[in-house]
Amino acid sequence: MPCSAVTLCVKKNGKIDIKSLQLAELEELVRDFGQPQYRARQIVEWLYQKRVGAFDEMTDLPREFRAQLAEQFAFSKIDIARVLGAPDTTRKFLFRLSDGSLIESVLIPASPALYGSRSDRRTICISTQVGCAYGCKFCASGLEGFSRNLTPNEIVEQIIAVEREVCEKIDNIVFMGMGEPLANFDNLIRAIRIINAPWGTGIGARHITVSTSGLAPQIRKLADEPLQIRLAISLHGASDEVRGQIMPINRRYNLETLLAACDYYISRKKQRLTFEYILIAGVNDSEEQARLLAKHARRLSAKVNLIPYNTVHGLPWSRPSQDRQETFLSILRERGTAATLRREKGHDIDAACGQLRLQTERELKAAIP
């Protein structure tokens, strides 16, 4: 059996998807099949440049070798089930995976320098799991629990499918869709290597941001990876008491544990972190929270992205008034913290993580007698 180096985590239905493999693994694979090494380069060119949909379309590979590949490997494709677009051209994609699971990606055409990128970049927010086990209280993704991890190819395929649909190149990736990326660590890293590789989708590491709810041990593990990707922490509360109301993960890794892991990350990466902070009226928008947040940000030289709460159907919270948002922002800035206040795009297309999937699944269930 070729390809012994590939870990079981990328297997699906007993077969590894060809698009979950790294180039070095493909080189090992073609050798095991008795083929010259350059066949591996031909395969990745068919996958990521020409973007074919089946082994049979890889016409410069010998027919017998194509048949062997088809027997040994899966070649799955994700289908677009729904697309919602907003007037500002933010678009939300609902994908149906080969097992029928639904996941979401959001295409944001211009994000004003949110993660250190130029504002004219095309950003896609992608998913790493079906559902989510972490149950952050503002988020629809966790409402129906966790189903499974995405395989590396399912993560990468979101980018390819969106590029195919909009006929434009994506140049900025944020792992901020459905699921906790660091809870699917190995598949995430595999996918990022493919996304980042010149033979893959060729997106620079500094244009890839991983967002986590605060899995402290995995933040340390990520710090030890050689990739120069960016890290965003979903903070949403500046004291254990407030954060604990919003983020159940805070019970496992409290703020001190999380911030210590962040200290380690920046000591290894020498780069700026971002704190994501969703402003929720009467919950985490007090002046005291702003002062504490500024203190944490100073400790790590982190930037802060303030995001006014996006209403989630079935959840009771609301966004603070514009005045309140501006006051919170000015307290951060007075204390020397680099902070932005995001005007939420796609408010009218249920852009908050997990909402389209939830709505579609409920519609489908209601349609079944």
Q: Which is nearer to ligand SF4, 268 or 347 (CB)?
A: 347
DSSP 251: G
Measured from the CB of residue 184, what is the shortest distance to ligand SF4 in angstroms? Answer: 11
Q: Which is nearer to ligand SF4, 2 or 181 (CB)?
A: 181
The one catalytic residue in 28, 104, 154, 157 is 104
Tokens standing for residue 196: 């980042």
Q: Which is nearer to ligand SF4, 180 or 285 (CB)?
A: 180
Binding ligand SF4 (rule: CB under 6 A), the pick from 132, 222, 273, 356 is: 132
Helix (H, G, I), strand (E, B) or coil at 172: strand
Q: Which is nearer to ligand SF4, 117 or 211 (CB)?
A: 211
Binding ligand SF4 (rule: CB under 6 A), the pick from 10, 26, 136, 341 is: 136
Distances (CA, A) of 174 to 35, 259, 329, 366: 37, 21, 23, 33
Strand order in the sheet with 73-74: 11-12, 15-17, 73-74
Which of 205-228 are b and which e, b meaning 16 or more Cβ less than 10 Å from the residue's Cβ?
eebbbbbbbbbbebbeebbeeeee
3-state DSSP percent of the chain in helix, strand and coil, to 5: 40, 20, 40
User: Does position 233 bind ligand SF4 by CB under 6 A?
Assistant: no
Task: Return all residues near 198 (Cβ < 8 A) that are at least 6 apart.
Answer: none
Measured from the CB of residue 235, what is the shortest distance to ligand SF4 in angstroms? Answer: 12
Measured from the CB of residue 125, what is the shortest distance to ligand SF4 in angstroms? Answer: 11
**Which range, of 80-88, 133-141, 150-158, 323-331, touches ligand SF4 by CB under 6 A?**
133-141
User: Does position 142 bind ligand SF4 by CB under 6 A?
Assistant: yes
Q: By rule CB under 6 A, what string of x and - marks binding of each residue 173-192 to ligand SF4?
A: -----xxx------------
Catalytic (active site) residue 353:
yes
Binding ligand SF4 (rule: CB under 6 A), the pick from 149, 213, 250, 286 is: 213
Q: Which is nearer to ligand SF4, 17 or 180 (CB)?
A: 180
CA-closest candidate to residue 175, choices 166, 185, 164, 167: 185
Q: Are 15 and 71 in contact (CB under 8 A)?
A: no
Catalytic (active site) residue 64:
no
User: Does position 139 bind ligand SF4 by CB under 6 A?
Assistant: yes
Residues catalogued as catalytic: 104, 353
